[in-house]
């Protein structure tokens, strides 16, 4: 692979590297056409241009679904929000994250942020994924097609507002070094002009997918809501 091709593959490869499972493209899946590849190539640029982007992240787990309502600023690559587990009122708090770490402030007391590195926990992997979904340039459409992106059809998003959609649904490129794999673990729901509405991510080989729903442009994360204490500053390591 040439240096240029390798460079252009990096953004989506970074996202796919976070995931281990493979989604099922279904019987209707087929390779993307040239026009469909061009539409898919715009999704990360559209997310970047909508930044600060409001989003709702849902991550299924043994104890329930963790819901994160957040704002991601792709220009600064920082995000902040709140988390909760519906049905478990004692679980929740505030979150802030960037490319290198997550800061957590549990609910129910003064704001004492604890900063730590990322783990392999599904929630951490979903948070890291949100930062990979916006980029300041379009993808290379030809490479997306060659890497196994697939067209899954047009669908309406369950629970979407009246008149919203239908959306073009794509399976992303296959994970790197898995040419024999099936569909990507990432599924994109794309609106007109490449607007990214939802991403579904299989964070493991089994179980339901996590979802990232883009909910519109929001105010940028406030500095106080996204602390980035330096190591050893006494903010806590988690």
| Distance, CA of 168 to CA of 193 (rounded, Å) | 11
Note if the bond before 149 is cis, omega within 30 degrees.
no
| Distance, CA of 159 to CA of 142 (rounded, Å) | 33
CA torsion, ordered 172, 175, 181, 183, to nearest 10 deg: -20
| Distance, CA of 110 to CA of 206 (rounded, Å) | 38
Range of the domain at 197: 9-69+120-221
Each residue of 191-205: pLDDT tens digit? 988 899 999 999 876
Report field, pTM of the whole predicted structure over 0.85? no
* Residue 110, in any domain of the structure: no
Res. 224: pLDDT tops 50: no
* Residue 238, in any domain of the structure: no
* Residue 59, in any domain of the structure: yes
* Residue 151, in any domain of the structure: yes
Q: Which residues does 66 contact at the CB level (< 8 Å), separation at least 6? A: 57, 58, 59, 83, 84, 85, 123
Structural domain tally of the chain?
1
* Residue 2, in any domain of the structure: no
* Residue 78, in any domain of the structure: no
* Residue 111, in any domain of the structure: no
Each residue of 79-123: pLDDT tens digit? 999 999 998 888 899 999 999 999 999 875 567 889 999 999 999
* Residue 93, in any domain of the structure: no
Burial class (CB in 10 A: 0-12, 13-18, 19+), 129: buried
């Amino acid at each position: 692979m040439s240096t240029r091709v390798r460079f252009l593959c990096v953004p989506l490869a970074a996202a796919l590297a976070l995931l281990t499972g493979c989604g099922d493209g279904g019987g209707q899946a087929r390779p993307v056409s040239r026009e469909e590849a061009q539409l898919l190539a715009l999704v990360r640029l559209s997310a970047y241009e909508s930044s600060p982007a409001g989003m709702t992240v849902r991550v299924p787990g043994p104890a329930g679904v963790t819901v994160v309502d957040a704002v991601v600023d792709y220009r600064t690559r920082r995000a902040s929000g709140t988390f909760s587990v519906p049905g478990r009122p004692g679980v929740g708090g505030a979150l802030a994250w960037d490319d290198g770490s997550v800061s957590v402030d549990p609910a129910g007391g003064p704001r004492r942020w604890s900063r730590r590195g990322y783990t392999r926990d599904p929630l951490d992997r979903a948070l890291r994924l949100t930062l990979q979904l916006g980029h300041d340039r379009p993808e290379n459409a030809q490479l997306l097609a060659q890497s196994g992106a697939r067209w899954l059809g047009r669908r309406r998003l369950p629970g979407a507002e009246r008149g919203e959609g239908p959306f073009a649904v794509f399976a992303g490129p296959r994970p790197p070094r898995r040419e024999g794999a099936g569909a990507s673990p990432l599924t994109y729901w794309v609106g007109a002009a490449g607007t990214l509405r939802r991403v579904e991510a299989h964070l493991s080989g089994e179980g339901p997918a996590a979802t990232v729903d883009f909910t519109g442009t929001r105010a940028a994360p406030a500095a106080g809501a996204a602390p980035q204490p330096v190591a050893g500053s006494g903010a806590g390591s988690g």
